[in-house]
Amino acid sequence: MNYRAELTASLADPSAFWQLQAQKLAWYKSPQTILLQDDNGIATWFGDGELNTSYLALDYHIEQGRGAQTALIYDSPVTATVKWFSYVELRDAVALCAGMLAALGVQKGDLVLLYMPMVPEAAIAMLACARLGAIHSVVFGGFAAHELAVRIDDAAPKVILTASCGIEVERVLPYKPIVDKAIELAQHKPHYCVVLQRPQCEAELTNECDRDWAQLLSIAQPAAPVHLRGSDPLYVLYTSGTTGKPKGIVRDNGGHAVAMLYSMRAIYGMSAGEVFWAASDVGWVVGHSYIVYAPLLAGCTTVLYEGKPVRTPDAGAFWRVVEQHKVKALFAAPTGFRAIRKEDPDALLAQRYNLTSLQNLFLAGERLDPPTYEWLREKFQRPVLDHWWQTESGWPMVANPIGLEIFPTKAGSSTKPVPGFDIRILDDNGVELGANEQGNIVAKLPLPPGCLPTIWNNHERFIAGYLQRFPGYYLCGDGGYKDDDGYLFVMGRIDDVINVAGHRLSTGEIEEVVAAHSAVVECAVIGINDELRGQVPLALAVLKSGGIDESNFEKQVVELVRSEVGALANLKQVIVVKRLPKTRSGKILRAVLRAIADDREYTVPSTIDDPAVLEEIEIEMRRRKVGAFA
């Protein structure tokens, strides 16, 4: 079936379409009830089927004769380590880790929280939880103690798994003091805290609940996979919000496994035995879906990379990994490629490596700005495939589905809705808009398998946040439009729409124009308060290194926006900054930037990669008399 046929089939009869996809998995008991919907349209997929995700990702492939194939490659430039795990070796490590957890009393339905660096044990522990039917909740290793404590209280884990340290380029980050402080702050107390000792910084195990990972593993017995219902939860993953109580996105076993396997074929064009690399972290949804679960469910080889796109050791790091491990598809956030482009604008370092294995570049996690898209296309002469999805969806909602049909790419667009997702554009009154009209991006219910069925311990928040505003639809939280060819253009979060003297403008639209300036590496546009117009845009731009005349830069950008967007945009100020404030997953902290410009109090998020950036920007805003400082 081609793309049009699969999309039509998936929307006309979702049950029949996804039943067909589910038959590609080795269920212990095939599901009879494919889809159930409640009064709100919330879908439960394959609820009465029985399976085990860990079995499907490991044991099944061994039974099919793929046991000697490499399943996981651990590549760590920060420790000068590369390790290969065959499917048999990874299955044995997972079974032993599951036995270790079982000996601590972990069983089906219990929650295990992971606070881990990018080491093989992180993926092994996730799969071990899945083997037992325990629910894992991975918290990104960059969170501070308070944020970790909040998640401990919400998740209520029986066991915490952690490591003695993480490594950030050349800096060793002790984890145990953070975990100790978090447990002290939290109301909920785990039964055990199991610590993986790393030689770069060993931790003192002084608390009553502390246990040594290696010691427990040495006396553990391998555990067999447990039969689970399709509706049983696999994991809880907290979205990286900067304020308020975090949202624990719940993922089930059945729908998740079906969606992951389908996506590897339809979206990524991958087959068993091929090497897939998602350059992300297991603490984020990309790491869950496309480092750990989807590649292994598809019988691929997955790369787990403990390093950066630059400085480990240089901007050629990604290309070294591609050559060494014969990577077919590389998936990374645009921010990673912008960092490479800034350090190596002519891609000279890439020329040192043999990249013939690399067929496709996939980008997601934030908006792919056209200059980065064009740079990648020009320098690497390969398809540059933007795709759009969320922690909530768990897999791409809009993509160029190269396993079904390859569409011409368009800069700024993530291409077309993936089969299973009925994507519409609605105005604020819920009326569907036509081509080239900006509005709220929604997905008509039911959502396909793999999407969240609820929020952990807070179903009311799930309904209020996603389903209430437009009954019968899931509110994605992003704004955008479809063009005449049905391509989706995501222009930014709904709250990134600004109202300039009655004109509703997307900051993403203005960012696109600013980023088109030849001197700009990356930029952010925010709306700031203005007495006369209500709001006006402010641009912050990071420039290429060396040889740039900054004296005329602001004037050039203002004129560019006036020409491309119109005088109504009213962009008057452009601030040149050394870097933009971001979370460790690469998202620009626009809400914090707005708070600074409006001279409001703000909380420095624990996810920020460099807090000093905010102070530098505030000083410059005051000097330039921006917003509230005018």
Residues 6+ positions from 544 with CB-CB distance below 8 Å: 342, 345, 519, 520, 521
- CB-count burial class (<10 Å; 0-12, 13-18, 19+) for 434: exposed
Stated as kind and residue range, the H or E segment containing 236 is: strand 233-238
Does the pLDDT value for residue 497 go beyond 80?
no
CA 557/CA 112 separation, integer angstroms: 50
Mean pLDDT of the chain: 93
The predicted model gives 235-252 an average pLDDT of 79
Asked whether residue 495 is domain-assigned, the answer is no
Same-domain pairing of 444 and 522: no
Which pair of tokens denotes residue 433?
């808009």
Distances (CA, A) of 17 to 27, 84, 398, 419: 17, 37, 18, 10
Same-domain pairing of 450 and 598: no
pLDDT tens string 14-71: 999 999 999 999 999 999 999 999 888 899 999 999 999 999 999 999 999 999 999 9
Same-domain pairing of 474 and 622: no
pLDDT tens string 313-340: 999 999 999 999 999 999 998 889 988 9
Least confident of 243-247, 266-270, 567-571: 243-247
Instruction: Return the ∠ at Cα 468 (arms to 463 and 473), rounded to 5°.
Output: 95
Asked whether residue 331 is domain-assigned, the answer is no
Least confident of 120-134, 257-271, 580-594: 580-594
CATH of the domain at 22: 3.40.50.12780
Which pair of tokens denotes residue 490?
């995501």
What pLDDT does residue 241 have? 44
Tokens 């530098």 found at: 616
Same-domain pairing of 449 and 517: no
The predicted model gives 405-433 an average pLDDT of 96
Q: Please state, for a pLDDT cut of 90, what percent of the chain lies above it.
A: 77
Contact predicate 544/519, CB 8 Å: yes
The predicted model gives 364-373 an average pLDDT of 84
Asked whether residue 67 is domain-assigned, the answer is yes
The predicted model gives 195-208 an average pLDDT of 97
Tokens 């009326």 found at: 431
Q: Please state, for a pLDDT cut of 70, what percent of the chain lies above it.
A: 98
Same-domain pairing of 139 and 25: yes
What pLDDT does residue 502 have? 59
Same-domain pairing of 283 and 396: yes
Asked whether residue 327 is domain-assigned, the answer is no
pLDDT tens string 556-578: 999 998 877 777 788 999 999 99
Show the DSSP H helices in 194-310 as ranges: 213-218, 254-266, 285-287, 294-297
Same-domain pairing of 282 and 191: yes
pLDDT tens string 213-230: 999 999 999 999 999 999
Same-domain pairing of 182 and 69: yes
More confident residue, 201 or 533: 201
More confident residue, 451 or 570: 451
Question: With the CA atoms of 584, 588, 589 and 595 taken in that order, what torsion angle do they form, in degrees rounded to the nearest 10?
Answer: 160
The predicted model gives 533-540 an average pLDDT of 88
Does the pLDDT value for residue 258 go beyond 90?
yes
Q: What are phi and psi of 312, to 5 degrees?
A: -130, 65
CA 120 to chain centroid, in Å, comes to: 19
Least confident of 233-247, 559-573, 590-604: 233-247
Q: How confident is the model at residue 243 (pLDDT cuts 50, 70, 90)?
A: very low
Number of helices followed by number of strands (H, E) in the chain: 20, 31
Same-domain pairing of 476 and 505: no
Partnered with residue 212 across adjacent β-strands are 195
pLDDT tens string 89-116: 999 999 999 999 999 999 999 999 999 9
pLDDT tens string 133-142: 999 999 988 7
- Indicate the number of domains in the chain: 2
CA 216/CA 528 separation, integer angstroms: 55
Same-domain pairing of 457 and 582: no
pLDDT tens string 619-628: 999 999 888 8
83-92: Cβ within 8 A, 24+ apart: 83/120, 85/120, 87/58, 87/61, 87/62, 88/62, 90/58, 90/124, 90/127, 91/58, 91/59, 91/62, 91/67, 92/222
Which pair of tokens denotes residue 394?
């768990």
CA 557/CA 552 separation, integer angstroms: 9
CATH of the domain at 579: 3.30.300.30
CA 425/CA 433 separation, integer angstroms: 6
Q: How confident is the model at residue 603 (pLDDT cuts 50, 70, 90)?
A: confident
The predicted model gives 288-308 an average pLDDT of 98
Instruction: Return the ∠ at Cα 481 (arms to 480 and 484), rounded to 5°.
Output: 160
Which pair of tokens denotes residue 574?
């452009």
The predicted model gives 379-401 an average pLDDT of 97
**Residue 93: which domain range?**
3-307+387-480
What pLDDT does residue 66 have? 97
Same-domain pairing of 163 and 19: yes
CA 270/CA 512 separation, integer angstroms: 32
Does the pLDDT value for residue 370 go beyond 90?
no
More confident residue, 273 or 546: 273
What pLDDT does residue 242 have? 37
